[in-house]
C-alpha cells in the first residue's frame, strides 16, 4: 500500500511537471520519473530482486539488445541528411506538418496527405 501511494505521488509529479513550462523539468518529471516508477514496480511488485539472478541477466540482455537496435538505427532516423545522403521524404513531411500548423489548417489538412510520404524511407 505504501509503495502504491509512492507511485501515485510520482504520477502526480509527472502530470504536474509540464505546467512549469520548463523543458528540462518536463523531461525529468516525465521520463526520469517513469524510470523510477518502473524500477519500483519491478522491485516491489515483481520482486525481481528476490528472483534468481538469471532473470535479471535475461531481462537486462534484452534491454541492451533493444538499446543496440535503437542506437544503431537512430542516426538514420533522427537525422534527415548526411555527407552523401538526404532524406527528402522526411524533410518534406516536416515542412508539410509545420506549414499546415502555421496556416492553422489543423490536423485535417495534414492528415491523409502526409501519411503516404511521412515515413523517412528514401535515403
- The Cα 114–Cα 51 span in angstroms is 48
In Å, how far from its chain's centre is CA 61?
A: 20
42 binds another protein (CB under 8 A): yes
**How many residues touch another protein (CB under 8 A)?**
58
Q: Match 516536416 to its residue by C-alpha cell.
A: 94
Looking at 4, 20, 22, 122, which residue binds another protein (CB under 8 A)? 4
- Per CB under 8 A, the list member of 22, 77, 85, 103 interacting with another protein is 77
3 state DSSP class of 104: coil
**Contact between 22 and another protein (CB under 8 A)?**
no
Q: From 94, 86, 84, select the one nearest 121 (Cα to Cα).
A: 86
For residue 94, the tally of other CB atoms under 10 A from its CB is 15
Q: Which backbone phi and psi does 55 adopt, to 5 degrees?
A: -65, -45
Residues near another protein, by CB under 8 A? 1, 3-4, 7-8, 11, 14-15, 17-18, 26, 30-31, 33-34, 37-38, 41-42, 45-46, 51-52, 54-55, 58-59, 61-63, 65-66, 69-70, 73-74, 77-80, 90, 93-94, 96-98, 100-101, 107-108, 110-112, 114-115, 118-120
Amino acid at each position: 500500500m505504501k509503495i502504491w501511494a509512492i507511485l501515485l505521488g510520482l504520477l502526480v509529479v509527472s502530470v504536474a511537471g509540464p505546467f512549469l513550462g520548463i523543458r528540462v523539468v518536463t523531461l525529468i518529471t516525465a521520463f526520469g520519473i517513469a524510470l523510477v516508477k518502473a524500477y519500483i514496480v519491478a522491485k516491489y511488485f515483481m520482486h525481481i530482486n528476490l528472483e534468481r539472478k538469471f532473470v535479471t541477466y535475461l531481462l537486462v540482455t534484452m534491454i541492451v539488445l533493444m538499446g543496440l537496435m535503437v542506437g544503431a538505427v537512430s542516426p538514420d532516423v533522427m537525422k534527415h541528411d548526411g555527407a552523401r545522403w538526404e532524406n527528402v521524404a522526411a524533410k518534406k513531411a516536416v515542412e508539410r506538418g509545420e506549414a499546415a500548423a502555421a496556416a492553422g489548417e489543423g490536423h485535417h489538412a495534414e492528415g491523409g496527405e502526409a501519411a503516404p510520404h511521412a515515413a523517412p524511407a528514401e535515403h
